[in-house]
Amino acid sequence: MPTSEPEILDLAGLTDEAFERLYASRLAPLLEAREGERRKRVADFRFHAMLAVPVAIVAACLTWLAARDAEPTVFIGLGAAAITIALAAIPISQLHRTVKIEMLEAICAAIGARYRPEADERPGFDRCLALGLAPRHDRAAFEDLFHGEREGCAFDLYEAHLEVERRGRNGQTHHDTVFRGQIIRIAFPKAFLGVTVVKRDAGFFNALQGSGDLKRVGLVDPKFERLFEVFSNDQVEARALVHPVFMERLMEIEQAFQGGKVRCAFEGGRLLVMVEGRNKFEPGSMFTPLTDPKRARRVVDDIARVLRLMDAVLTAELAPLVALRAERAEAAARAAARSAGQTAAQGGASAPREGPWSSPTAP
């Protein structure tokens, strides 16, 4: 008896009924299998955490007997308690990571994508830095790498946390977050002729944001220009890429992500997108039951929200691609018809130069 192909879900338009099927078939079994382990590790943690008090008292008493000084006594006592609790939390943290990986692998299998917990490759990040999308930083961490396809375009999605080192008045250093959010790299069917960057509006400092041969592109939408500034080395292509529909979609994304400070760039054959926000794709606390479907729904919704962001950008850009290809195919057909009426001595008409959206195999 032939087996049926597994259902590939589109999370961007996921209904409650589809989520229930996803949860019942892929998520509930693995979460139920881990629930007993979760209860045991939580019980062990609470037991060892309770030992922190007597451990702190014993450490403080020994310190007092040795030093007869209140300051080190308090410090050693609190330190002993903190170390005891930290050691007790290690099994909880390990389970949290295991549950997260299993959940995200199961969800990605359902949508035809792949997941890796490490994102050491950081696809497109170096270009984000070079183009001024990513801020200067001293420390960076990357995780949760997804690879899949939307609208026929391959994508990489991962999370980044960038920090800058600062020195306080007392000379001590600390790290402040300058970016936390998602980075997306999408491969387009054809390379762009130039480089176009959409940055946050910097007000008075807009004139300083252009770099090298990237010059500011003036657009006709004042609402869009209050939020964003566009720079490019190809003014014509930039206006074709950042068209009214794309501008509208970008502002909708900004609102949907609650001021997520979206920024993007078109370069080569890729679109780079950075959007600020909280740490996503986390399974939640290990101190509550794993079998609550709301836990899985939050993770699924995190992924769905980013997929809808990609869809909004792709549909805005791929529609002009289809229209432009049709227009060029029609122009090529007219040129071929004219060429057929010419004599062999005159030769055939030269083919039109390929533009950013043309394809060598386009009909």
The rounded Cα 226 to chain-centroid distance in angstroms is 24
List phi, psi (to 5°) of 231: -130, 145
What is the Cα–Cα distance from 70 to 197, expressed in whole angstroms? 60
Global pTM reads 0.79
Alpha-carbon gap, residue 127 to 273, rounded angstroms = 11
CB 148 within 8 Å of CB 246:
no
Question: In the chain, which ranges are E strands?
Answer: 114-118, 139-150, 153-167, 173-187, 196-200, 215-217, 228-232, 263-267, 270-276
Contacts of 173 (CB under 8 A, 6+ apart): 165, 166, 167
Residue 147 is given by DSSP the state E
Among all chains, which residue has been given the structure tokens 């990489």? 156
| CA 92 distance to own-chain centroid | 26
Q: Provide the pLDDT for residue 327.
A: 61
N- to C-terminal Cα separation, the chain: 41
Q: At what angle do helices 293-340 and 244-256 cross, to 10 degrees?
A: 170
User: What pLDDT score was predicted for residue 110?
Assistant: 94
How much is the pLDDT for 336?
73
Which residues are 167's β-sheet partners?
173
57 and 101 in contact (C-beta within 8 Å)?
Answer: no
What is the pLDDT tens value at each position of the chain, 363 positions in all?
445 556 688 898 889 999 999 999 999 999 999 999 999 999 999 988 887 777 667 666 766 666 666 666 666 767 777 788 888 899 999 999 999 999 999 999 999 999 999 999 999 999 999 999 999 999 999 999 999 998 889 999 999 999 999 988 877 899 999 999 999 999 987 788 899 999 987 654 444 455 568 999 988 788 888 889 999 999 998 988 898 888 888 888 887 776 568 999 999 989 999 999 889 999 999 999 999 999 999 999 999 989 988 888 887 776 655 555 556 567 777 777 777 766 544 554 444 444 443 333 333
Residue 106 has φ and ψ, to the nearest 5°, of -65, -40
Rounded Cα–Cα distance for residues 39 and 27 (Å): 18
For 265, the 3-state DSSP assignment is strand
**Cβ neighbours, 10 Å, residue 179:** 20
Q: Are 266 and 196 in contact (CB under 8 A)?
A: yes
